[in-house]
Structure 1
Amino acid sequence: MLTAITVVIMAAALAVGLCANQLRRRRHAADGSDDEEASVSDLISPLETLAVLLVAFVIVVAAESYGAAGSAVGAEAHRLDQLYEVADYAPEPQRERLQGAAVCYARAIMTYEWPAMVDEGRKAPEASVWSTDFRRHFKDLARKDANTFQLLVETDDDRSVARQTRLSEAMPAIPSVVYWFMVLSLAATVGAFAFGLPRQRGPSHLVLLVVLAGLFTGSLLLIEDIDRPFSGQIAITSEAMADTAADIGEDFTHDHPGRPLPCDAQGVRTRAAV
């Protein structure tokens, strides 16, 4: 919907500008002076500067948000894998419980939290169940192995920060009012360029104007796309977490042969594990 409105506004600005230019040509057909055209050009220049600076600023903000979202996804998957590995140094039964919870957390993120994040920007309680389990097992471990406990707490804290960053970056970083102000500024710029075309214009003027309108429209669509990092044409995927889920799932099978995970394939706690 946002994409369609953006394209319509830019196309309408181009059409209105060309129509206004045509009316101006007819009105001043008998006047050979260029005073009016020079005046129009003087007015367009600051408008062009405002539009370009605004687009550059918004692209930087959107790109930073997109980069932060990608880094958070990778960091969360890496810290979860690290948590599983550090848990190898914990005594039983905390070792098996922590590693099983890590596998289930990854599965719940993939099945429940990723879709909820993309659609609504919220966390999923199905995944939070397992992060709560981490802390519960940490308390049991604190009385047995203080060194491993400290390492696990630090790793889990990094995982939690990465998760919160991922969730926060899922929401648009650019306020709607800023985006639409930018759209109107670019639309006004395109319309002004169209209106200010010289009376003795050639095909090259129209071609360059259409190219300019296309570039402005493409910039707006690019900003809209990267401002929603987990959806769109260049969306950040859940591949990092999927790889971690598969990796630690295989490790659990190898490390605890014959022992079932406390959850099913979707990360939902099984009755036997309650």
Structure 2
Amino acid sequence: MAILVISSSLLALIAGLLFNRFAVPRILSGEDPPAMAIKELISPLLSLTVLLLAFVLVSAAGSYGKAEEASRAEARALDQISEAAEYVPVSDRLQIQADAVCYARAVASEEWDSMQYGKGSSVPSIWSSDLRRVFKSLEEDSAFSMLVAADVKRSDEREERLTQSTASVPVLVFWFLLVTLIITISSLGACLPLKKNRGHVVALSVLTALLAAILCIIQDVDQPYNGLIKVNPTAISEIERQAHRDLMRAQGSYTLPCGENGKELREKAN
């Protein structure tokens, strides 16, 4: 999509300059159009383009911020589950902490890649379901309420993270912005002075690059888990390392029910 924006902007610039070079002299018999008339015609169009780009950029940036916050909040909730497990019997504690490690691995390895295409993964749900199964056996335990509250928070933040993986800017709006950008650049190029316009051409080229860059940034930021500017699974990967380290330190040796990617290594008992 970025290639489309850049190529369209460049073609619009070239089209405007060619029109200015060959068509305008014939239309105006070699005379420059009045400067005030050009300003009155083009300024509103340029202002509209800039305002639209700024508005959509703010909206896309807000979606990116929500995605980043949701991923961090989910990691904090998972850390609370792992820490609250210290207050339950050993057998349940090991199961809860192992499920937390596997859940974090599944999110960072499996679900994160799927979110690049606006989709989730069923692998983390295996471990969240197992967590709830263990919680049912702890209803009389003092740590039960803490575990449930943290798990509800984790579930809510995961849902928010998945929601933000889809584009917040509709495709129709993006195409409208691109068409508006093309018309603006072409119009500015066509209305440049006919003589001694080298500085104007340079300024218009810079303006074209800036406007195209803003539209590319909007498209990139609007996909929080894909592109050059993306949210990485740093927070939940760090929680996975901490939970795994604490589990190994307390138990000595423990075989996790999952691999490095969070997928099951064996069938779980009913």
The one-letter code of the counterpart of 1:18 is: L
**Following the alignment from structure 1 to structure 2, what is the Cα–Cα distance between the partners of residues 49 and 31?**
27
DSSP-derived class of the 2:219 partner? helix
1:121 counterpart letter in structure 2: G
1:193 equivalent in alignment to 2:188: yes
Q: Is the 8 A contact 1:10 1:187 kept in 2?
A: yes
The Cα of 1:222 is off from its aligned counterpart by: 0.9
Q: TM-score, normalised by structure 1?
A: 0.92
Deviations 1:103-151 (A, max 9, x none): 1111111221111112x32221111000011111111111x31x31111
Aligned partner of 1:178 in structure 2 is 173
Aligned to 1:11: 10
3-state SS of paired residue (1:271): coil
**Structure 2 CA distance for aligned equivalents of residues 31 and 237 of structure 1:** 57
Q: Which residue of 2 aligns with 1:226?
A: 221
| Unpaired segments ≥5 residues, structure 1 | none
| SS of residue in 1 equivalent to 2:196 | coil
- The answer on 1:78 being equivalent to 2:76 is yes
The residue aligned with 1:100 is: 98
Deviation of the 1:273 alpha carbon: 4.6
Per the normalisation by structure 2, the TM-score is 0.93
Pick one of 29, 43, 46 that aligns with 1:45: 43
Deviation at 1:241, TM superposition (A): 1.6
- Aligned pairs, how many? 268
- Identify the residue that residue 124 of structure 2 maps to in structure 1: 127
Structure 1 counterpart SS, 2:264: coil
1:228-267 matches, within 5 Å, as 228-267=223-262
Q: Report the counterpart of residue 19 of structure 2 in structure 1.
A: 20
Gaps of at least 5 residues in structure 2 are none
**3-state SS of 2:73 partner:** helix
Q: Secondary structure at the match of 2:263?
A: coil
Contact 1:41–1:196 under 8 Å retained in 2? no
How many angstroms apart in 1 are the aligned matches of 2:50 and 2:258? 53
Work out which of the residue numbers 169, 176, 183 in structure 1 matches 2:164. 169
Map of 1:202 onto structure 2: 197
Partner Cα distance (1:183, 1:271) in 2: 51
1:232 Cα deviation (Å)? 1.2
The separation in 2 between residues aligned to 1:230 and 1:269, in whole angstroms, is 25
| Contact map agreement 2:25 2:31 (CA 8 A) in 1 | no
